[in-house]
Structure 1
């Protein structure tokens, strides 16, 4: 395996991961509840929870700490 092959495979896996996340989230009809749990407050940047949080911030929604509700 070459380094390029490994990087390409990781890129394709991340692309598929994000596609599946998009499909799952767009199936909601009225409301979407997003829950997650971590032992620490630091969430990996490539975690789905980070992706959703960043998207909410970009949309002008704010994440309420504690209850973690977007308003």
Structure 2
């Protein structure tokens, strides 16, 4: 999927959008080509605070932080 490819992105988020479920994506690593990998947490309707807390707990527990890759030039 290319950045900004909204058609593919919509396929990945349709379920949450359709049912009004809170969701958040957090960075969780990079692949062997240096592309950012993400992890998505989804909650039940009205569970926005729980989803945010879960994402924060994940980031604190793993210590993983995203550092932009060096220029490819």
* TM score, norm. by length of structure 1: 0.28
Instruction: Report which structure shows greater RCO (CA 8 Å, sep ≥6).
Output: 2
Query: Comparing both structures, which one devotes a greater share of its residues to strand?
Result: 2
